[in-house]
Structure 1
Amino acid sequence: MSKVHLVRNGLDELLTGLEEGDPVPAERDLAVRFGVARDTVRQALHELLLEGRVQRRGRGTVVAKPKLTQPLSLRSYTEGAERMGRKPGRILVTWEDIEATPDLAAGLDVEVAEPVMHLERVLLADNERIGLESTYLPLSRFAGLYDTFDPETSLYAAIRASGVYFASAEELIETILPTPREASLLLTTTAMPMLHLRRRSLDAQGQPIEVVRALYRGDRVAFQSTLVDDV
């Protein structure tokens, strides 16, 4: 077993005796405790950081909150956060009209260059930045949101309030690294793995409602799905 794995095992045991927010001993103290070089400790801590077990706070490291587990469903981010007892929030980054690219036009069933509403927001859980979401809506259908929607609240709730209901969605999730801009908005680094989600939602008539591109910090968010054998 490598020295990093030995330190990982020791850290796993150490973390079981600590509470959320408790400080993790300094690298130099852990190096002495496990009889290894500080570089070995630093690598083991980095693995725990990527897994979301610990997080940086100032110049130290503390035990992290459990990851926010989001269901793969037609429910909103707000509902998922509230079910875990977390306080959802959002920071508006961009709210503008853009011309539909060929990809957006196909996804939203509109003409190329037709106006599309673009809403970009940082997603919060207990005031911690965990995701960055870009939503694209056909302006011809949802222009009224400019007058009625508060971008710090649930977009899905506002869409349902307008009389449009989600019936199905196509979703793809993969792992990517963020751009410098995305990392800056999420207060992390370009080395932090992100869960990249792309979704196309439809109403009961099969008409597109939205196209979404979202990034979630891999150390702070996980997704859960319930599978049923329909054979």
Structure 2
Amino acid sequence: MNRVTSHRADRPVRAGVPDHGRVPRYYAVKTELFDLVETLGEGTVLPSERELAERFSVSRVTLRQAVSELVLEGKLIRRQGSGTFVAPPKLVQPLSLVSYTEGMRRQGVEPSRNVITCERVTADEQLARDLLLEAGDPVFHLERVLIADDERIGLESTYLSAIRFPRLLDVLDPTTSLYACLTEKLGVEFLDAEERIETVLATPREALLIGTNPALPMLLLHRVSFDTDGHPIERARSLYRGDRFSFIARLHAER
């Protein structure tokens, strides 16, 4: 009969220790360090590297590896010249037809955008298939850095048919919500979307625009949205910092 032990449902079972019980020393330190982090408040600076190494009886090299993993996971933040701090909770965006603006404001966060590109280009074969166009048809391309409370957290690239929405650039303020513009000014009704999520590393250009380390895991979303007639509205590629962002969805049984 198995012995019943208590554990937190939001943590790895048995703290991530394999059944044979052998773990790298840095991982054991990481677990202890995470327990320490949970007792500290958001924005609290960690004790010095020397103090932590002595506290956990490990070398500084081992400690640095544990700290680095917690930074990648978004539990800690390194600030050049200031130290390492306890990170705030991750932002949560619903996997639904909710705009970035609305999703952030629901969490009490003020969204904004830096416009990188707002241009008219021609559709290649794949984009034409996604938007039910002919290759070479004109499309609008909008690329923007996504910001939450003055912190850069993502990069979004969106394509829309210039034939279907010829007035788009005349009525859109690219620093504001594209969805609000489409629904309120162009009469578009969103019905559903197809979305694919994967993990990637940012390109050097993307990392520079977002202001993050190129080694940081990113969450990449590909989306094609459709209107109530089943016609595609947009194709979007959204890249989010994995250390600051997560997604939530409510699933329903198929009937």
Residue deviations 1:154-201, cap 9 Å, x none?
A: 110001011001101000000111110001111112211111110000
Q: Distance in 1 between matches of 2:120 and 2:49?
A: 49
Partner of 2:198: 174
Amino acid of the residue matched to residue 145 of structure 1?
L
Secondary structure of 2:175's counterpart equals: coil
Max Rg structure: 2
Q: Distance in 2 between matches of 1:83 and 1:193?
A: 25
1:86 paired with 2:109, answer yes
Task: State the secondary structure of the residue aligned to 2:182.
Answer: helix
Runs of 4+ in 1 over 6 A off after TM superposition: none
1:54 aligns with 2:42: no
Question: 2: distance between equivalents of 1:206 and 1:153?
Answer: 26
Pick aligned residue for 1:71 from 94, 106, 110? 94
Give the CA deviation at 1:99.
0.7
**Unmatched 5+ stretches in structure 2:** 1-22
Residue type matched to 1:178 in 2? A
Look up the SS of the partner of 1:223 in the other structure: strand
Amino acid in structure 1 at the alignment position of 2:251: L
Take 1:142 and 1:128, find their aligned partners in 2: how far apart are those partners? 31
Aligned equivalent of 2:164: 141
TM-score, normalised to structure 2, is 0.88
Trace 1:29-44 onto structure 2 (pairs within 5 A). 29-44=51-66
Alignment of 1:1-231 (within 5 A): 1-59=23-81, 60-161=83-184, 162-231=186-255
Residue 149 of structure 1 and its aligned partner are, at CA, apart by 1.2
Classify the secondary structure of the residue corresponding to 1:142.
Answer: coil
CA deviation after TM superposition for structure 1 residue 145, in Å: 2.2
> What is the alpha-carbon distance in structure 1 between the residues aligned to residue 84 and residue 33 of structure 2?
12
**2-structure distance, mates of 1:175, 1:208:** 25
Displacement after TM superposition at 1:90 (Å): 0.7
| Identity percentage of aligned residues | 53
Superposition CA RMSD, Å: 1.1
Report the Cα offset of residue 85 of structure 1: 1.3
Distance of 1:26 and 1:139 partners within structure 2: 56
Q: Which residue identity lines up with residue 144 of structure 1 in the other structure?
A: R
CA distance in 1, matches of 2:212, 2:49: 21
The normalised TM-score by structure 1 is: 0.96
| Unaligned segments of structure 1, at least 5 residues | none
Distance 1:93 1:28 in 2: 43
